């Protein structure tokens, strides 16, 4: 059932006049001042796409980049121009998050919930797809909500929005996602959306200080003997690989080795696996709770509130915290499974990327060697290419095992007996300590940073510094040898004043 807008010809013109100007940067709009530069750029790019007759556009922003606030600000501008906005979401947490962001820009949306018997007139609606679809089967609901100007779909990669949008054939649509890969391979996003904009990527957000840097630890060997069904590993084969005492012990030992005391989320295969993992953490003396979709809303809120307060360290879960859960104090992600889904992997890892005062980085413990299939979370991804060619196999990251020289901190192949940078020799005693420390796990370095520091660009030096948690002095030492130009580029990247470069050059002179 399609329903055209009333006075469609007139309203179509009105919508064009409402949507296009609303995306322009307006000096008098106080909300625009609170946007980060790349968020303002996102709005400008959306405006350009709509002006070029692209009516259905994907807004691709990484987890933690503030896409909810960006589209909330956009919704405010639409409404200020006399428009009417519908935001589609898929989970209670996401719905609450959207409501919170809308409130911050001064909007009070009407939330269409399952128990909603009447829809009141409003300039902004928030609804879950299934709930809205059922309501729109009734003419009285259609009459109230029919003349929508703009639809925003959060987490559009889930692909469950089509049947609703078929009812709005002439409306401008924005699909927001961190990973523009459809969860349903038979319905790629490029078959529905006309364009994608990618204002910024994860490495840039880390360099700018908007996301925490990640240190990834993963197994050298891939998990074997996994079977797939409908594009994902089966629970049965995953349990066959992970439901072993050795794997439970390994997950706990790696947490102790690399992230002891950090607040962590552990993503598991299914409820049985998650409960067993919770019990294993508890048996090891680590405070741990479990969360899944079958737990009551009251109990879920209690557990999340307790987690936020730091009353336990590890939160095991199954499929409920991959999207729409924001807790900046999380500084460890345990991916206790393997997945064929790039979207799922990036969503899980991204839960630890929120910035917080005093938080220098977060740890990713990849029990399923997922980085081999999907690459590292903090490596650049050409999302536009993935959007345009969804059936093309994902590029295997092919990251070779590496280790850090204990003498000069250079990154060298894991098999090396001699550091080619400083000449440090790995004795049997050193090799034994390294083997015991890593227990088959190594810290995985992004492929573009897997080279000597003197071969890195200025931006790569800073990215590597953040990755390893080094002090600013390390980067200065690396760049000072290149001369004043390199330091000036670094100062510009870090927004330092001009006098900073002079000071560093003077320090070099004093130390000669």
Instruction: Flag whether pLDDT at 511 surpasses 70.
Output: no
Residue 181 scores a pLDDT above 70: yes
Please, are residues 57 and 195 in contact by the beta-carbon 8 Å criterion?
Answer: yes
Number of structural domains found in the chain? 3
Q: Which of 359, 388, 417 is the last residue of a domain?
A: 388
- Asked if residue 174 lies in contact with residue 57, where contact means CB atoms within 8 angstroms, the answer is yes
Q: pLDDT band for position 406 (50/70/90)?
A: low
pLDDT tens-place string over residues 260-285: 999 999 999 999 999 999 999 999 99
Which helix (H) or strand (E) is 219 found in, with range? strand 213-219
Phi, psi of 464 (to 5 degrees): -70, -35
Q: What is the pTM of this model?
A: 0.73
Q: Are residues 131 and 32 in the same domain?
A: yes
Q: Phi and psi for 330 in degrees, rounded to 5?
A: -65, 125
241 sits in which H/E element: helix 235-242
Question: In this predicted model, what pLDDT tens digit does every residue of 309-331 receive, in sequence order?
Answer: 999 999 999 988 876 678 999 99
- Which pLDDT score is estimated for 333? 97
- Give 118 or 422, the one with higher predicted confidence: 118
DSSP 447: G
pLDDT digits (tens, 9 = 90+) for 8-19: 333 444 444 445
**DSSP H helical segments within 260-324, as ranges?**
271-283, 297-308
Report the pLDDT value the prediction gives residue 80, as an integer from 0 to 100: 92
- Are residue 229 and residue 92 in the same domain, yes or no? no
| Residue 414 neighbours by CB under 8 Å, 6+ apart | 220, 400, 401, 402, 403, 442
* 211 and 195 co-located in one domain: no
Does 356 map to a domain? yes
What per-residue confidence (pLDDT) applies to 32? 43
Q: Is residue 230 part of a domain?
A: yes
- Single residue among 373, 388, 403 that ends a domain in this structure: 388
CATH number of the domain where residue 247 is located: 3.40.50.300
Whether residue 57 sits in one domain with residue 188 = yes
Distances, alpha carbon 25 to alpha carbons 68, 183, 199, in Å:
18, 34, 16
* 329 plus 288 within the same structural domain: yes
Considering the domain architecture, whether residues 85 and 183 belong to the same structural domain is answered as: yes
Instruction: Please indicate, yes or no, whether residues 36 and 148 belong to a single structural domain of this protein.
Output: yes
| Confidence category of residue 155, pLDDT binned at 50, 70, 90 | confident
Domain span holding position 21: 8-200
Is the Cβ–Cβ distance between 147 and 83 less than 8 Å? no
Q: Which of 495, 496, 489 is nearest to 457 (CA)?
A: 489
Give yes or no for residue 185 having a pLDDT over 70: yes
pLDDT at 196: 96
pLDDT at 252 over 80: yes
CB 103 within 8 A of CB 63: no
Please give the average per-residue pLDDT across 144-172, as a whole number: 84
Q: How confident is the model at residue 427 (pLDDT cuts 50, 70, 90)?
A: low
CB count in 10 Å sphere of residue 169 = 11
């Amino acid at each position: 059932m399609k329903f055209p807008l009333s006075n469609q010809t007139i309203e179509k013109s009105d919508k064009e006049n409402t949507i296009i100007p609303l995306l322009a940067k307006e000096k008098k709009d106080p909300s625009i001042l609170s946007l980060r530069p790349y968020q303002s750029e996102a709005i400008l790019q959306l405006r350009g796409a709509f002006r070029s007759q692209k009516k259905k556009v994907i807004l691709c922003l990484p987890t933690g980049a503030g896409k909810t606030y960006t589209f909330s600000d956009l919704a405010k501008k639409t409404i200020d121009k006399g428009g009417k906005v519908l935001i589609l979401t898929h989970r209670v947490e996401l719905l609450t998050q959207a409501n919170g962001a809308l409130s911050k820009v001064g909007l009070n949306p009407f939330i269409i919930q399952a128990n909603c018997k009447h829809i009141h007139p409003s300039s902004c609606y928030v609804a879950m797809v299934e709930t809205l679809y059922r309501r729109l089967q009734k003419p009285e609901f259609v009459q109230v909500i029919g003349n929508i100007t703009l639809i925003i779909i959060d987490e559009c990669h889930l692909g469950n929005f089509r049947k609703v949008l078929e009812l709005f054939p002439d409306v401008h649509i924005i699909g927001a996602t961190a990973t523009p890969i459809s969860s349903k391979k038979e319905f790629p996003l490029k078959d529905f959306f006309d364009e994608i904009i990618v204002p910024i990527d994860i490495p840039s957000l880390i360099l700018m200080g908007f996301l925490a840097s990640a240190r990834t630890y993963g197994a050298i060997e891939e998990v074997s003997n996994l079977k797939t069904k409908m594009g994902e590993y089966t629970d049965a084969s995953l349990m066959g690989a992970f439901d072993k005492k050795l794997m439970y012990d390994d997950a706990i030992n790696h947490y102790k080795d690399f992230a002891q005391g950090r607040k962590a989320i552990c993503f598991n295969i299914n409820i049985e696996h998650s409960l067993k993992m919770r019990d294993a953490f508890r048996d090891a003396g680590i405070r741990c709770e479990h969360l899944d979709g079958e737990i009551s809303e009251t109990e879920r809120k209690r557990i999340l509130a307790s987690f936020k307060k730091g009353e336990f360290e590890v939160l095991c879960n199954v499929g409920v915290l991959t999207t729409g859960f924001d807790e900046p104090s999380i500084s460890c992600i345990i991916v206790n499974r393997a997945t064929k889904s790039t979207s799922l992997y990036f969503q899980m890892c991204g839960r630890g990327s929120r910035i917080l005062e005093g938080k220098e980085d977060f740890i990713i413990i990849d029990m399923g060697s997922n980085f081999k299939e999907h690459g590292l979370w903090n490596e650049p991804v050409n999302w536009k290419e993935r959007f345009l060619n969804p059936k093309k196999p994902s590029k295997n990251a092919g990251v070779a095992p590496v280790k850090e020289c204990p003498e000069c901190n250079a990154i060298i192949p894991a098999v090396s007996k001699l550091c080619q940078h400083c000449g440090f020799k790995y004795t049997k005693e050193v090799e034994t300590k390294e083997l015991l420390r890593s227990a088959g796990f190594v810290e995985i370095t992004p492929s573009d940073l897997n080279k000597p520091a003197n071969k890195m660009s200025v931006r790569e030096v800073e990215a590597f510094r953040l990755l390893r948690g080094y002090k600013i002095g390390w980067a200065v030492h690396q760049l000072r040898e290149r001369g004043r130009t390199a330091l000036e580029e670094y100062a510009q990247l870090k927004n330092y004043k001009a006098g900073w470069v002079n000071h560093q050059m003077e320090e070099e002179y004093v130390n000669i």
